[in-house]
Amino acid sequence: TRDGNFLVCPCGDEVKIVEISTGEVKLTIPGDSEPITSLVVSPDNRTLVAASRSLNVRVIDIATGEVRRSWRPHPSPVADMAIDSSGGYLATASADRSIKVWDLQGGFTTHTLTGHEGVVLSAVFHPKQPLLFSGSEDGAIMVWDLMLGGGSGGVTGSISRPMIARLAGTHFSAVTSLSVSHDGWRLVSGSRDKTVALWDLKALLAAVAVNSGLSKGKNGGATPPPSKKQKKQQQQQQQQQQQRVISDVKPLVLIPVYETVEAVVALPSVPSLMGLGLS
């Protein structure tokens, strides 16, 4: 849990909540006969979301073990889940190569994101902006702006498609884990190709802004107000620019490790990383 007091463990189809200081199992939550594939805890430590190979996703009250809601968000198992910093939205990444974003309280879908060419294995929200990052078995990392579009916004051809960047060519095997630093400026990705990559999100978002015509100075200087026709043309151009996907961003550093990477965590403050002075 976020407060560091409890450890939430998948044990077959069950979930056990263990008090870290004593090692005592405080609560065992029965499963649905199929192994757990992903667990995520809300920022307020009150809600647990569990996904299993049965395709069910369950929203559970951590204090009582009561299942508040259960549904099947995808036709294939959910490989990873994430809850945003407000605790209001859940992302489910699936073997069906899609990610869905859900309103946790209302239980409805806000976005269906498609574009990955492989099973989606990892997902994480940006802590301060409406961005979602996802990684798949083909080594690609997608960046989604959730302010663009909604519903089936990820469908090819949609004007408001929320994919704003595709980071490919760095990892050559499955991206198994993603983590964003607390300040929101660094993304860490881990892969089964035995590498960990550190990405500069400030540079990435600046490139996206330029790509979308949103950078400072783009429309600088005094200009007369546009006519209705000009305004419509500008809106169409902006929509087309938003459709362009950044793909040439490279990581700050690519770190080789000795084994395949299954999980990465961006720590609140790291004075140095592999002697490179990165934080």
CA distance 209 to 203: 10
Mean residue pLDDT of the chain comes to 83
Answer whether residue 157 is part of any domain.
yes
Query: Any residues with CB less than 8 A from the CB of 145 and at least 6 apart, and which?
Result: 130, 131, 162, 164, 208
Average pLDDT rounded to a whole number, residues 203-223? 58
Let me know if residue 5 belongs to a domain. Answer: no
> Token pair for residue 149?
């579009």
pLDDT of residue 264: 85
Digit-coded pLDDT (tens) for 30-77 = 988 899 999 999 999 999 999 999 999 999 999 899 999 999 999 999
Query: 3-state class of 56 per DSSP?
Result: coil
Under DSSP, the state recorded for 203 is H
Written as one letter, the residue type at 77 is P
> Hey, what are 60's tokens?
């559970």
Question: Quick check: is 150 in a domain?
Answer: yes
User: Is residue 266 domain-resident?
Assistant: no
- pTM, full prediction: 0.81
In this prediction, residues 163-172 reach a mean pLDDT of: 90
pLDDT-based confidence at residue 263 (cuts at 50, 70, 90): confident
Which of the four pLDDT bands, split at 50, 70 and 90, describes residue 129?
very high
Q: How confident is the model at residue 93 (pLDDT cuts 50, 70, 90)?
A: very high
Higher pLDDT: 89 or 246? It is 89
Please choose, from the candidates 73, 28, 34, the residue with its C-alpha nearest in 3D space to the C-alpha of residue 48: 28
Domain residues for 77?
73-256
Range 230-251 average pLDDT: 61
Check which CATH number belongs to the domain holding 143 and give it. 2.130.10.10
Residue 97 structure tokens? 């190569």
How would residue 142 be classed by pLDDT, with cut points 50, 70 and 90? very high
Q: Is residue 53 part of a domain?
A: no
Asked if residue 6 belongs to a domain, the reply is no
Residue 241 lies inside a defined structural domain of this protein? yes
For the chain, the distance separating the N- and C-terminal CA atoms, rounded to the nearest angstrom, is: 24
Residue 177: beta bridge partners?
190
Q: How many domains does the chain have?
A: 1
Q: Is residue 230 part of a domain?
A: yes
Task: Tell me whether strands 141-145 and 163-167 are parallel, antiparallel or unpaired.
Answer: antiparallel
Least confident segment among 22-36, 191-205, 258-272:
258-272
